[in-house]
Amino acid sequence: MLNALQMFITIAVIALVTFTTRALPFIFFRSKEPPAMLAVIEKNLPPMILLLLVIYCLKDVQWLTAPYGIPELFTICVVAGLHFWKRNAMLSIFTGTALYMVLVQFNVFSFL
């Protein structure tokens, strides 16, 4: 167990490092003009990162043991289908989450 002072120092270090990672590009490109390649990155990074965040959310799924990630994939398909159909973000997100909670809490795919 750390004492209060050690704890404050530790938190300060973690906070500083985290802020630095977020501030890095802003510090680096403050004085000089960003390279032309960066314009391409700026435009294409958000869509790529958002899809990567979806994949990241599935990182701990056990694909090779029951239920083989089916609750996750099934719910994602429902969310995506609903969103392509109605394009109502709240509806898609909350229907999906409620469905997923039912699927895992009642272990609906236990027959697999």
Partner 1 sequence: MVRNEEYKKTGEKNKDLFTTAFKTTIPVLLGYIPLGMAFGFLLDGAGYHWIYAFIMSLFVYAGSGQFLAVALLSAGAGLTEFAIATLLLNFRHAFYGLSLLEKFSGIGKIKPYLIFALTDETYALLTTTDVPQGSSKSKFYFYIAALDHSYWIAGSVLGAVLGSVLDLNIEGMSFVLTALFVVLTIEQYFSSETRFPFIAAVGAGALSLILFSSDNMLLASIVLGTLILIGREKSMQKTQRKQNTQEYRKH
Contact footprint for partner 1 (CB under 8 A): 1-2, 7-15, 17-26, 29, 34, 37-38, 40-60, 72, 75-76, 79-80, 83-84, 89-90, 92-94, 96-97, 100-101, 103-105
Please state the closest distance from residue 5 (CB atom) to partner 1, in A.
Answer: 12
Please state the closest distance from residue 13 (CB atom) to partner 1, in A.
Answer: 5
Task: State how far Cα 106 lies from the chain centre.
Answer: 25
Cβ proximity to partner 1, 7 vs 112, nearer residue: 7
Distance between CA 98 and CA 58 in Å, rounded? 18
- Taking every pair of C-alpha atoms in the chain, what is the biggest distance, in angstroms? 61
Distance between CA 76 and CA 93 in Å, rounded? 10
Please state the closest distance from residue 24 (CB atom) to partner 1, in A.
Answer: 4
Please state the closest distance from residue 110 (CB atom) to partner 1, in A.
Answer: 15
Tokens of 87: 């394009």
